[in-house]
Amino acid sequence: MNLVDKVNAKSVRTDIPEFRVGDTVRVDYKIKEGKTERIQAYEGLVTAIKGGSISKSFTVRKKSGGVAVKRIFKVNSPLIDSITVVRKGMVRRAKLNFIDGMEKEYKVKERN
């Protein structure tokens, strides 16, 4: 193990559950508003996972007021309070970017 791997190993979070593309997750994210800090839940479908180790990130897509909103989160960010897997989904793609162009809602089958 070289020096870079040792430094990165200290920053990698171990309290994050394992999830895949197609799963529905709830991300509790810390938001600073002035001097106060609150936790906001962001729940949606995981459409992409990129990177690995320290630079791993994932994209969550949710519908808010009839408009689709995508947000990218870093897995090892200190601003993420917790990640909860709400529903496990089964998809056949590594990235679900084609959902953006669809007019009707995309249905994901449940995984055991």
- Those residues of the chain that have pLDDT short of 70 are none
Closest CA to 63 of 82, 42, 80, 83: 42
Residue 93's pLDDT is what? 94
**Structural domains in the chain (count):** 1
Work out the percent of the chain whose per-residue pLDDT is above 90.
79
**Domain holding 73: CATH number?**
2.30.30.790
Domain span at 19: 3-90
| 106 assigned to some structural domain | no
- Would you say residue 9 lies in a domain? yes
Is 70 within the bounds of a domain?
yes
* 80: its two tokens: 């993420």
- How wide is the angle at C-alpha 35 spanned by C-alphas 33 and 40, nearest 5°? 35
Hey, which residues does 100 pair with through a beta bridge? none
Residue 75 lies in a domain: yes
Distance, in Å, from the CA atom of 82 to the CA atom of 97, rounded to the nearest integer, reads 25
Indicate the pTM of the whole model. Answer: 0.89
